[in-house]
Amino acid sequence: MTARAEAGAAGALRSAIERLDVAALGAELHGMVRELYPICRSITGDGLRRSLDILRRTVPLELHEVPSGTPVFDWVVPREWNLRSARLLGPSGEVIADASRLNLELLNYSIPFRGKVPLEELERHLHSLPDQPGLVPYRTSYYREAWGFCLSHERRSRLAPGDYQVDIDTTLADGSLTYGQLLVPGLEADEVLVSTHCCHPSLANDNCAGMALCAALARLLGELKPRYSYRFLFIPGTIGAITWLALHEAEARRIAHGLVAACAGDAGRLTYKRSRRGNTEVDRAAVHVLSHSGEPHEVRDFTPYGYDERQYGSPGFDLAVGSLTRTPYGEYPEYHTSGDDLSFVEPGALVSTLRCALRVLAVLEGNATFVNLSPRGEPQLGKRGLYGESGRAMDPDEHMGLLWVLNQSDGDHSLLQVAERSGLRFRALRRAASALESAGLLAQKEELR
């Protein structure tokens, strides 16, 4: 690939970032979140399919179905679960829980059950949060057959003795696990993976926000001819990532860089969690972008807990996949409760996370290693119009960008490394590199071979 093409791809992405219409984009992203929120998703089933269909109005995802029973590494694709209705009525017929008003009220993956049960027995099927008595928890039972309801601890503690009517009309039967994928072909076969989980029901930030973000990101990338090929995966968490990895090992080996995006819309600070290897190019790109973002942010070391970076970073793959969120997994009180509702997600936060993701991709797209073609002493910038005249100073950052790129371009330092050493922004160095290339003072290392 030529440096020009590469600069072109990075430049197109850079322009796309600068053209972002914050208000319109925020409204669009929050609109998607609002549409996704009420659906009862799970790791399989129609809720998942319906959600992907909503995203397909934004971006042309392919939908894939993997049959129940398919062995995927140490796991087996489970039976498909679907909910028709689920209610719990009290001794006087009052509604205690009803999945149609809030699908969290049903234990996700509950098996069908209909009958009267006394309070003592019912208690073993109830889930509530004594420390957060006003909130309904989100609970699942994917791999152990069970039924249950989730409710606020306040409500639970007021339950009267007596018989309760349980009506859980669900199906758990052979079917398939669904995931969505968009491939954006690039100039290079090496891939960038962007993955988000789509299995959580009515939790707005976790992860309607991430789904909306990745759909918008996929649409933006799909409009460019990028350097890397991009693979966007909209998958159920854990089992979805494992399923995709198990069925696409060869493709997985082509993933050069990746991001798992989630929890993209709360008001908290941007958080990047490093990949397992800890200092890969995507890690350094993210650290660079965040440190120059002017926004509150945090960089964390990898842990094998969290979202699907756990699977991509399992030792048998060890992919360079980090995670971009706002407040991370489990660290906000509303996490995995009814408190993670539409009011918890802000349009401005969604756009800020999207912009950050785009900037990380722009660094990856634009990063390259150059060779100074006039390496002995400094070249004479003045005769090439690259030097401020007496009495009229050039922009100091621009001038320093030229000097740093010339000095460090010995074939051993990428532009991102020059940015790290110099403290200058990557985009300034990328511009300097392009100016020096045009002046014949610099060539991309790849081209010299």
How far apart are CB 434 and its own copies at their closest, in Å? 18
Q: Which two tokens stand for residue 41?
A: 């998703």
Q: Does 391 bind its own copies (CB under 8 A)?
A: yes
Question: According to the binding rule CB under 8 A, does residue 71 interact with its own copies?
Answer: no
Stretch 242-301 residues interacting with its own copies (CB under 8 A) = 242, 245-246, 249, 276, 301
According to CB under 8 A, which one of 21, 62, 382, 395 is a site residue for its own copies? 382
**Is 449 a residue that touches its own copies (CB under 8 A)?**
no
* 212 in Cβ contact with 172 (< 8 Å): no
Interacting residue with its own copies among 75, 248, 348, 397 (CB under 8 A): 75
Q: Which of 317, 140, 141 is nearest to 244 (CA)?
A: 317
Minimum CB–partner distance for residue 107 and its own copies (Å):
7
Q: Which H or E element spans position 311? A: helix 309-312
Supply the minimum distance, in Å, between the C-beta of residue 141 and its own copies.
5
Secondary structure E strands in 185-333: 191-197, 229-235, 255-261, 270-273, 297-300, 321-325
Query: Does 85 participate in binding its own copies (rule CB under 8 A)?
Result: no
What is the closest distance, in whole angstroms, from the C-beta atom of residue 391 to its own copies in the complex? 5
Q: Which is nearer to its own copies, 309 or 365 (CB)?
A: 309
Least separation in angstroms between CB 368 and its own copies: 16
Single residue of 207, 367, 408, 434 touching its own copies by CB under 8 A: 408
User: What phi and psi, each to the nearest 5 degrees, are found at residue 71?
Assistant: -75, 130
| Interaction of residue 378 with its own copies, rule CB under 8 A | yes
270-273 β-sheet, strand order = 62-67, 176-184, 229-235, 191-197, 255-261, 321-325, 270-273, 297-300
- 443 near its own copies (CB under 8 A): no
| Binding of its own copies by 130 (CB under 8 A) | no
Tell whether residue 417 is a contact of its own copies (CB under 8 A).
no
Cβ-based neighbours of 396, under 8 Å, separated by 6 or more: none
Residue choice 314, 348, 397, 417 for contact with its own copies (CB under 8 A): 314
411-414-420-421 Cα dihedral, nearest 10 degrees: 10
Number of shown-chain residues binding its own copies (CB under 8 A)? 55
323 binds its own copies (CB under 8 A): no
Which residues have C-beta within 8 Å of that of residue 166, sequence separation ≥ 6?
88, 113, 114, 115, 116, 117, 122, 125, 147
**DSSP state string for 250-264:** HHHTTEEEEEEE-S-
End-to-end CA distance of the chain: 12
- CA dist 380 and 96 (Å) reads 80
Name the segment binding its own copies (CB under 8 A); options: 202-210, 279-287, 292-300, 309-317: 309-317
Helix, strand, coil % (nearest 5) of the chain?
35, 25, 40
Stretch in the footprint of its own copies (CB under 8 A) among 25-33, 61-69, 199-207, 236-244:
236-244
* 117 forms part of the interface with its own copies (CB under 8 A): no
- Say if residues 8 and 365 touch (Cβ distance below 8 Å): no
How would you class 301 by CB atoms within 10 Å of its CB: exposed for 0-12, middle for 13-18, buried for 19 or more?
A: exposed
Cβ 323 to its own copies, closest distance in Å?
14
Rounded to the nearest 5°, which phi and psi values hold at 75?
Answer: -115, 175
Residues 289, 420: contact at Cβ < 8 Å? no
**What is the nearest approach in angstroms of its own copies to the Cβ of residue 152?**
15
Cβ 325 to its own copies shortest distance, Å: 18
Give min distance, CB of 242 to its own copies, in A.
4
Binding site for its own copies (CB under 8 A): 72-75, 107, 127, 139-141, 143-144, 146, 148, 238, 241-242, 245-246, 249, 276, 301, 303-305, 310-311, 313-318, 372, 374-380, 382-383, 389-391, 400, 403-404, 406-410, 421-422
